[in-house]
Amino acid sequence: MKLLRYGPHGQEKPGLLAQDGSIRDLSGIVPDIAGDVLSSAGLERLRSIDPATLPRVDGNPRIGPCVGQVGKFICIGLNYSDHAAESGMAVPPEPIIFMKATSAICGPNDGIELPRGSEKTDWEVELGIVIGKAAKYVDEAQALDHVAGYCVVNDVSERSFQIERSGQWTKGKSADTFGPVGPWLVTRDEIPNPQNLGMWLEVDEKRYQNGSTETMVYGVAFLVSYLSQFMSLQPGDVIATGTPPGVGMGMKPPVYLRPGNRVRLGIEGLGQQEQLVRSWKEQR
């Protein structure tokens, strides 16, 4: 099942992607793709509905972030050994955890806004985990029971803010539009093995990233269990699990985003995103 949110920014409605590619309106069934809707019971209720009985959404509406009311946007750093190598950093003995501001979250095609003073804004295609059931001190063997599904995330990063401005990575990760999420939340039953998904990213039709989740250092089940030892995970929390090699910072010489660039990225079974890069001075 592929769930989504559509409509103007801040006024998104819940929807479902039917097998024929049409969007079906769920607003008469649930208020949002959030909270209890993401539980096993909530998803089973939606799964029992015949999409043909739902109102069809006409035209080509804006697709918003596939999860609403996100409480935490948690990220894992250097989780692919080959990406750590291109960054000149060692694979960490435990997962590196940092946060993105939830205000960075945007739709998958909304565009990337370069923040004021940006010099080194970069891209990172990542597998996103969406929590469906609260998790606290969860064993790895039960961790996936707490996952509602998966989505594509572009962990957009301003490297000079992240690395050269002191302190935590969060300041380089949290500008508005730095968290495109979606297009769909694909429920866990459709992705039996999240550790075998191809992933890619292009800038202006040039392929920079071409990897697979199979090369993660720390897998999905481990990460959910690990994070739950330090904080409770709540329905709707999003975990971005790291990126394969091919980021702009790793190029020789480095390549960073400029206004007018077009970024395309996707993950096998989870859909694609496309973003036009613009200056912060341009109107949203």
pLDDT in tens, 62-83: 999 999 999 999 999 989 877 7
Q: What is the pLDDT of residue 63?
A: 98
What are the start and end residues of each CATH 3.90.850.10 domain in the chain?
73-279
Q: What is the pLDDT of residue 282?
A: 74
CA–CA separation, 191 and 175 (whole Å): 31
Q: What percent of the chain has pLDDT over 90?
A: 90
Across the range 256-260, mean pLDDT stands at 98
Q: What is the pLDDT of residue 281?
A: 82
Give the Cα-Cα-Cα angle 67, 71, 72 (nearest 5 degrees).
Answer: 95
pLDDT tens, residue by residue, 120-133:
999 999 999 999 99
pTM, 2 dp: 0.95
* Fold topology of 73-279: Fumarylacetoacetate hydrolase; domain 2 (3.90.850)
pLDDT for residue 57 is more than 90: yes
Read off the tokens for 193: 């093995």
Q: What is the pLDDT of residue 139?
A: 98
Note whether 12 and 34 are within 8 A (CB): no
Q: What is the pLDDT of residue 283?
A: 57
Provide the 10 A C-beta neighbour count for residue 58: 8
Across the range 256-261, mean pLDDT stands at 98
CA 124 to chain centre: 10
Note whether 173 and 282 are within 8 A (CB): no
Q: Which helix (H) or strand (E) holds 214?
A: none
DSSP 6-71: ESSTT--EEEEE-TTS-EEE-TTT-S-SSGGGGSHHHHHHHHTS-GGGSPEEPS-PPB--SS-S--
Q: What is the pLDDT of residue 82?
A: 73
Q: CA-CA distances (angstroms) from residue 253 to 155, 246, 249, 250, 256?
A: 21, 12, 8, 8, 10
pLDDT tens, residue by residue, 162-200:
988 887 789 999 999 999 999 999 999 999 999 999 999
Closest C-alpha among 242, 169, 248 to residue 199: 242
